[in-house]
Amino acid sequence: MQGRDEWGMDAHTDAPLRSPLAPPVPMLPLRLRARAATTMEMAAIPWLKALEPEQRERVASSIQVAEVEVGERVCRIGREANYWFGVIDGLLKMSNDDAAARPVTFTGVPPGGWFGEGTLLKREVYRYNIQALRRSVVAGLPLESFHELLESSIAFNRYVLNQLNERLGQFIAAREIDRQSDPDLRVARNLAALFHPLLYPGVGGLLRITQQELGHLVGLSRQRVNEALRHLQDQRLIAVEYGGLRVLDLAGLRVYPQQ
C-alpha cells in the first residue's frame, strides 16, 4: 500500500488513552505494516459478497490490511481521505478529540463496520479521528477503487446507500443520547448501536468489549458502566459473558427504558 496520509501516520495517542492503553513506542507507520488480506479476512468483508465474481477478483487485489495497536489512529482530523476503511477484528472509536469544540465520541466501530464513505464521496479531508480501543485488524480499499466500484456496480451502490441511510439514523439517535443524563440509558442505547446488524454484521450475537472500552465510548467511568450493565442484565436485556456482552433483547435496548 502506498504511503498516503492515514496509512503513513506514526502512532499517536490521545491523553485519556495514554495510560494504560497507549501503544508501544516506537512503531513503524501503518503503511509499512500493511499486507495482503488472508482468505479468512477477505471472507469477513461483507460488501465483497455483493459484487460480481470478476469485480470481486479485481478489487480484492487492491485491499490490504494492517494490525493497529491500542491508542493508534487510523484517521485524523484534517488529513486527506485516501482509503475506505473497515474493521476485520477489534474495536475502534470515532471522535473529534482534537477539535476546538467539546470532545465528543460519535460512535464505536466493531467488526464488520466500514466507515468514511461520505468523506470519500465528497473527496474531502476527515472531520473526525478514528482510534483503536483494542488491538484491531483494519482493512483499506483505495479511494480510486472505491469510486470505480460506484461507477460500475449497482449492488455496491445499493450497499453504500444503505450504509449512509443507516448511519444517518445512528447519528440522529446518538445526538439524542448525548443529551441524556441517565447512565443506564446511555449504555443501553450505545450497546444497541454497536449491535446494528447492517452496519456491523461481524459482531453477531456476542460483542467482545471490556467495561473500560465501553466507558470510553459512552463517556462514563468503568464503575458506572459496570453498574449499568448489571441493571440491564437484571432486566434480561443483555448477558455479561467472559470477554464480552451478549444481547438478549435488541429491540428492548433500542427503546430503553420504555419497556
In order, the DSSP letters of 10-79 are: PP---GGGSTTTPPPSS---HHHH-EEPPHHHHHT-GGGGGS-HHHHHHHHTT-EEEEE-TT-EEE-TTS
Provide the pLDDT for residue 37.
94
Blockwise average pLDDT, block size 10, the chain, 259 residues: 37 37 63 90 95 93 94 93 95 80 81 94 93 95 96 95 89 70 89 92 90 90 94 95 91 84
On whether the CB atoms of residues 251 and 245 are closer than 8 A, the answer is no
The yes or no reply on domain 5-164 and CATH 2.60.120.10 is yes
pLDDT of 36:
94
The string of DSSP letters for 181-227 reads --HHHHHHHHHHHHT-TTT-TTSTTEE---HHHHHHHHT--HHHHHH
Residue 151 is given by DSSP the state H
Q: What is the pTM of this model?
A: 0.82
Tell me the domain boundaries of the chain.
Answer: 5-164, 182-255
What cell does 115 get?
466507515
> What would the CATH number be for the domain defined by 182-255?
1.10.10.10
